Amino acid sequence: MRKQRVTQQAIVFAIFVVLFAIFALFLPGFFSAPNMLALLQNVAFLGILGLGMALVVISRGIDISMIAALAVPPGLVLQMVQNGYGPTISVVAAFALVIVFGLVNGWLVAYAEVPSLFTTLASGLFLAGLGQVAFFQLDVVQWPAALDGLGWFGRGGILGVPMPVVMFGIAAAIVALFLRQTRIGAYIYALGDNPFGARTTGIPTRPIILLQYVLAALIAAFAGFVMAASINSMPTRVFNSTMIYDVILVVVLGGIGLSGGRGGVPNVIIGTLLIGTMLNGMTILDFSYSAQNLVKGVVLLVAILADSFLNPRNEETAQQGDI
Amino acid sequence: MSVAAVSKSPLADGEIQLSVKGVSKRFGGVRAVDSIDLDVRKGEILSVIGPNGAGKTSLLNMISGFYQPDTGSVTFEGHNITNARPSQIATYGVARTFQNIALFRGMTVLDNLMLGRHVHMKAGVLSSFIYWGLAQKEEIRNRARVEEIIDFLKLQDLRKQPTGSLAYGLQKRVELGRALALDPKVLLLDEPMGGMNQDEKEDMARYILDVNEEWGVTVVLIEHDMGVVMDISDEVVVLEQGRRIAGGTPDAVQRNPEVIRAYLGTSKSKGAV
pLDDT in tens, B174-213: 999 999 999 999 999 999 998 888 999 999 999 999 999 9
**What is the extent of the structural domain holding B238?**
37-264
Q: Cα separation of B92 and B103, whole Å?
A: 21
Residue B110: which H helix or E strand, with range? helix B109-116
Q: Choose, out of B115, B129, B186, the residue to mutate when testing the contact with A (most A CBs < 10 Å).
A: B115
Beta strands A157-158 and A161-162 are: antiparallel
User: Can you say whether residue B272 is alpha, beta or left, with left for phi > 0 and alpha for psi between -120 and 50 degrees?
Assistant: beta
Q: Exposed, middle or buried: residue A275 (CB in 10 Å: 0-12, 13-18, 19+)?
A: buried
Inter-chain residue contact A201 with B115, CB threshold 8 Å: yes
Residue B20 pLDDT: 94
Q: Cα separation of B129 and A183, whole Å?
A: 7
Q: What mean pLDDT do residues A41-56 have?
A: 93
Find out whether A260 and A57 touch, Cβ atoms under 8 Å: yes
Establish, for the pair of chains A and B, how many residue pairs have beta carbons separated by less than 8 Å.
111
The minimum CA-CA distance between A215 and chain B, rounded to whole Å, is 14
Task: Inform me whether the C-beta atom of residue B51 falls under 8 Å from chain A C-beta atoms.
Answer: no
Statement: residue A178 has pLDDT above 70: yes
Q: Say if B130 falls within a structural domain.
A: yes
Residue A64 pLDDT: 95
More confident residue, A9 or A54: A54
Q: What mean pLDDT do residues A139-165 have?
A: 88
Q: How many domains does chain B have?
A: 1
**Low-confidence winner among A89-103, A207-221, A233-247 (lowest mean pLDDT):** A233-247
Identify how many contiguous H helices and E strands chain A contains and give both numbers.
13, 4
Which residues in chain A have their CB less than 8 angstroms from residue B116's CB?
201
Q: What type of residue sits at position B55? A: G
The minimum CA-CA distance between B96 and chain A, rounded to whole Å, is 7
Residue A98 pLDDT: 97
CATH number for the domain including B213? Answer: 3.40.50.300
Residue A312 pLDDT: 67
Distances in whole angstroms, Cα of residue B64 to Cα of each of A200, B58, B186: 8, 10, 11
Statement: residue B138 has pLDDT above 80: no
Task: Inform me whether the C-beta atom of residue B167 falls under 8 Å from chain A C-beta atoms.
Answer: no
10 Å Cβ neighbour count for B15? Answer: 12
Statement: residue B265 has pLDDT above 70: no
Out of A194, A200, A316, the one facing B96 most closely (by C-beta) is A200
Distances in whole angstroms, Cα of residue A56 to Cα of each of A21, A167, B128: 33, 20, 20
Q: Say if B17 falls within a structural domain.
A: no
Q: Say if B193 falls within a structural domain.
A: yes
The minimum CA-CA distance between A277 and chain B, rounded to whole Å, is 31
If you write DSSP's letter for every residue of B17-80 in order, what string do you get?
EEEEEEEEEEETTEEEEEEEEEEEETT-EEEEE-STTSSHHHHHHHHTTSS--SEEEEEETTEE
Statement: residue A319 has pLDDT above 50: no
Q: Say if B10 falls within a structural domain.
A: no
Residue B266 pLDDT: 56
Q: Say if B26 falls within a structural domain.
A: no
Q: Cα separation of A208 and A220, whole Å?
A: 18
Inter-chain residue contact A316 with B66, CB threshold 8 Å: no
| pLDDT tens track for A69-114 | 999 999 999 999 999 999 999 999 999 999 999 999 999 999 999 9
Q: Say if B195 falls within a structural domain.
A: yes
Statement: residue B131 has pLDDT above 60: no
The minimum CA-CA distance between A224 and chain B, rounded to whole Å, is 25
Chain A neighbours among B 222-261 (CB < 8 Å)? none
Dihedral of the alpha carbons of B52, B54, B60, B63, in degrees to the nearest 10? 170
Statement: residue A4 has pLDDT above 70: no
Q: Say if B204 falls within a structural domain.
A: yes
